[in-house]
């Protein structure tokens, strides 16, 4: 039971890192991407390669993974971010499809559908990780570091410039801000942070294959950000917990086993639809309802019911 | 040397020629008002100068280099800043953040204390110091106008292009605005102002450029422009004082 909870905790931590890093793009830079699983995957493969061929040092493998994934997202961002928002969504789907194909077909590097197996247990500062609880601790530490970094980033001049663009792109440009440079930087950082999750995953499961980094999962990460509430620090955390833990909770409902799958999916899907109807600003905005009312917001106003 | 030298500027949208030919040289350290009937191409001219629109022909020389073809952010960094008629504040941000974000470098992880001090000084200057932590969307109309000004005053700017900064201001706010403009001028800045209210134009301008159908009909001192009956007829005869339809 402890192992089950620890494993769920690791997956949750990974989801929080992925959703929070994507939130930098979606919530702060205003870039909607359905390709975040690619950077998660590139990170996982890069870490796996390092672990299999060079060293079992988690820190080193993660550093390489972040660099490679950051570089890939940079190379994607420079040409593609020149297009307008809605086109970028479509372009990101295309990128996800291309990446999935590469994960599956580039046998020499990725091992194809069979993936890369036999990744050694992670070593952190001389400490060899073996039990799920140890991985949970590692995940928690990484998650806190990533969240702290994002918190510093969004409060920094860089984060403020991103928010300025989100509020009014024309005005931000007129004040001398470079939209392309800011967006490329946000995308690169976001990709590098997603690689942290990829590295944890590779060491934890000791096996990577393309099935973990599909378009489906990219959509789920985006759903976490939106359901939780884009543009806040708490939003993606709440969204990641909801998306990851909700199916686990549904397991506890008593029903004949052949109905479990479909019923779970129906409840899951319907609750997402209902959430978007009633709380379009995300689950994390619910607490605002409990505070004394502020003047009605000019735009959106989804929390005012 | 002129603070800004506009030569033979032309802009058409499809077959519709908005600016057939504008030639205008701004004298440094003076406040020039751009007046003219609705649809004369005033805001379009701002967009052409600041890189938001690319002219079909002509040049805009500033400190020896041609601005045509530069991006808006490059033009701003060279020392020309504009304000918008519809303000375009960062509504979700506080007054302080609106001004702070304008002047600080984007690629920095820590906010510099000097930037904060500079921001506070600018807010003090425009009379928004006590609204420092109010969100922009919660400000009154006049306060929003002054925040719009504060944002570009925080930049290192020589030439201010202000699109109807005083429209809708009441008496006391107008006085404050007038004093602000005067202080910009005293510091040696050049100002190009779009303004419909002729009382304000008369009060603040050193020069007036009269724009009609995308051409500069007259460029002179306020006394001479207001004495020219043909121009006043054209101004009041063509349009009363409706809001300008064009925008960025």
> What confidence tens digit (pLDDT) does each residue in A86-113 have?
788 888 999 999 999 999 999 888 888 8
B93: nearest CB among A167, A176, A177: A167
The yes-or-no verdict on residue A305 having pLDDT over 80 is: no
Q: What is the pTM of this model?
A: 0.86
Q: ipTM of the assembly? A: 0.87
| A245 part of contact set with chain B, CB < 8 Å | no
Q: Is residue A5 exposed (0-12), middle (13-18) or buried (19+ Cβ within 10 Å)?
A: middle
In a domain, A286, yes or no: no
Nearest CA in chain A to B150: A175
Q: Are both B94 and B197 inside the same structural domain?
A: no
Q: Distance between CA A184 and CA A73 in Å, rounded?
A: 8
Q: Distance between CA B239 and CA B245 in Å, rounded?
A: 12
**What would the two tokens of residue A138 be?**
């590692």
B chain contacts of residue A161, beta-carbon cutoff 8 Å: 101, 106
Range of the domain at A198: 2-215
| A89 part of contact set with chain B, CB < 8 Å | no
In a domain, A74, yes or no: yes
| A153 part of contact set with chain B, CB < 8 Å | yes
Do strands B159-163 and B16-26 pair parallel, antiparallel, or not at all (unpaired)?
unpaired
The rounded percent of chain A whose pLDDT value lies above 90 is 55
- Tokens 């070593």 belong to A123
Q: Are both B248 and B163 inside the same structural domain?
A: yes
In a domain, B180, yes or no: no
**What would the two tokens of residue B193 be?**
């102002």
In a domain, A50, yes or no: yes
Would you state the pLDDT for residue A268? 76
Counted domains in chain B: 2
A173: nearest CB among B72, B97, B151: B72
Long-range contacts of B59-63 (CB under 8 A, 24+ apart): B59/B5, B59/B6, B59/B7, B59/B8, B59/B9, B60/B4, B60/B5, B60/B6, B60/B7, B60/B9, B61/B2, B61/B4, B61/B5, B61/B6, B61/B7, B62/B3, B62/B4, B62/B5, B62/B159
Q: Distance between CA A288 and CA A301 in Å, rounded?
A: 12
Distance, in angstroms, between A73 CA and closest chain B CA? 18
Would you state the pLDDT for residue A193? 97
Positive or negative, the CA dihedral A9, A12, A18, A23 is negative
Range of the domain at B118: 89-155
| pLDDT (tens digit per residue) in B93-132 | 999 999 999 988 888 888 888 999 999 999 999 999 999 9
Counted domains in chain A: 1
What's CA A294's distance to the chain center, in Å? 32
């Amino acid at each position: 039971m402890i192992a089950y909870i620890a494993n769920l905790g690791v997956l949750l931590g990974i989801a929080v890192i992925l959703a929070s890093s994507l939130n930098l793009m979606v919530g702060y830079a205003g870039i909607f991407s359905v390709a975040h699983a690619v950077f998660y995957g590139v990170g996982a493969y890069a870490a796996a390669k390092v672990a299999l061929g060079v060293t079992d040092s988690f820190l080193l493998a993660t550093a390489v993974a972040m660099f490679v994934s950051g570089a890939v997202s940079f190379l994607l961002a420079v040409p593609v971010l020149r297009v307008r928002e809605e086109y970028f969504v479509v372009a990101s789907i295309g990128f996800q499809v291309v990446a999935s194909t590469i994960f599956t077909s580039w046998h020499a590097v990725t091992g194809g559908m069979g993936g890369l197996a036999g990744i050694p247990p992670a070593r952190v500062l001389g400490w060899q990780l073996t039990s799920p609880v140890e991985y949970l601790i590692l995940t928690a530490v990484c998650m806190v570091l990533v969240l702290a970094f994002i918190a510093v980033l969004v409060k920094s001049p860089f984060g403020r410039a991103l928010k300025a663009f989100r509020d009014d792109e024309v005005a931000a440009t007129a004040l001398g801000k470079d939209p392309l440079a800011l967006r490329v930087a946000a995308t690169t950082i976001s990709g590098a942070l997603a690689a942290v999750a990829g590295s944890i995953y590779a060491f934890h499961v000791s096996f990577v294959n393309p099935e973990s980094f599909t378009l489906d999962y990219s959509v789920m990460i985006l759903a976490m950000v939106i359901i939780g509430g884009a543009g806040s620090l708490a939003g993606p955390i709440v969204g990641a917990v909801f998306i990851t833990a909700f199916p686990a909770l549904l397991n506890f409902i008593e029903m004949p086993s052949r109905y479990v799958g479909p019923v779970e999916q129906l409840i899951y899907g319907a609750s997402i639809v209902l959430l978007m109807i009633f709380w379009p600003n995300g689950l994390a905005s619910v607490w605002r309802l409990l505070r004394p009312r502020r003047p009605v917001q000019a735009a959106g106003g989804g929390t005012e019911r | 040397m002129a603070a800004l030298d506009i030569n033979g500027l032309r802009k058409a949208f499809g077959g519709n020629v908005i600016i057939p030919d504008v030639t205008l040289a701004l004298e440094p350290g003076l406040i020039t008002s751009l007046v003219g009937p609705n649809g004369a191409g005033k805001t379009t001219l701002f967009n052409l100068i600041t890189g938001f629109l690319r002219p079909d022909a002509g040049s805009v020389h500033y400190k020896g280099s041609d601005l045509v073809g530069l991006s808006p952010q490059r033009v701003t960094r060279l020392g020309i800043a504009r304000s918008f008629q519809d303000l375009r504040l960062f509504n979700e941000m506080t007054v302080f953040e609106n001004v702070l974000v304008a002047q600080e470098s984007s690629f920095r992880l820590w906010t510099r204390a000097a930037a904060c001090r500079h921001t506070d000084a600018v807010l003090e200057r425009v009379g928004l110091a006590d609204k420092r932590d109010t969100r922009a969307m919660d400000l009154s109309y006049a306060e929003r106008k002054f925040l719009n000004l504060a944002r570009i005053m925080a930049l290192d700017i020589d030439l201010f292009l202000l699109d109807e900064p005083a429209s809708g201001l009441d008496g006391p706010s107008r006085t404050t605005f007038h004093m602000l403009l005067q202080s910009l001028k005293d510091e040696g800045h050049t100002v190009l102002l779009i303004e419909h209210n002729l009382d304000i134009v008369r009060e603040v301008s050193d020069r007036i450029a009269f724009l009609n159908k995308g051409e500069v009909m007259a460029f002179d001192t306020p006394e001479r422009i207001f004495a020219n009956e043909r121009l006043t007829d054209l101004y009041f005869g063509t349009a009363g004082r409706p809001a300008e339809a064009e925008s960025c």
